[in-house]
Amino acid sequence: MHFTFSHNNINVLDLEKSLLFYQENLGLSETRRIAPPHGEFIIVFLGDGQTAHRLELTWMRDWEQPYNLGDNEFHLAMETEDMQKAHELHEKNGVICYENKAMGIYFINDPDGYWIEIIPKK
């Protein structure tokens, strides 16, 4: 038996704001949308155009409070070939929430407070 990664899910309060964040800051684009007629939820899958892995954003119509992220120890990680250019973009957009210069990495946070680790491509 063999398992492969498919996607990770995060729940979001403002779907349009989150879509804009992931497109502007990470270049992710919508690959699929599930929007049942009853309107209770919308699921949007985002992809990087290079790998099969997807980020699933789930918006729940009746959810109004911020999601409890606990200690925010879990996170996504994204690789980039140009750390300097990425850092400049994220600094300009005001989304950097933590830097570890000794390790050569930093984190950005999305509109719901989820952390995304930015690491150099190996």
- The DSSP output letter for 67 is P
CA distances from 43 to 59, 82, 115 (A): 6, 31, 20
Helix (H) or strand (E) holding 21: helix 15-26
Asked if 116 and 55 touch (Cβ cutoff 8 Å), the reply is no
Q: Tell me which of 56, 79, 99, 117 is the catalytic residue.
A: 117
Known catalytic residue: 117?
yes
Mind telling me the catalytic residues?
A: 117
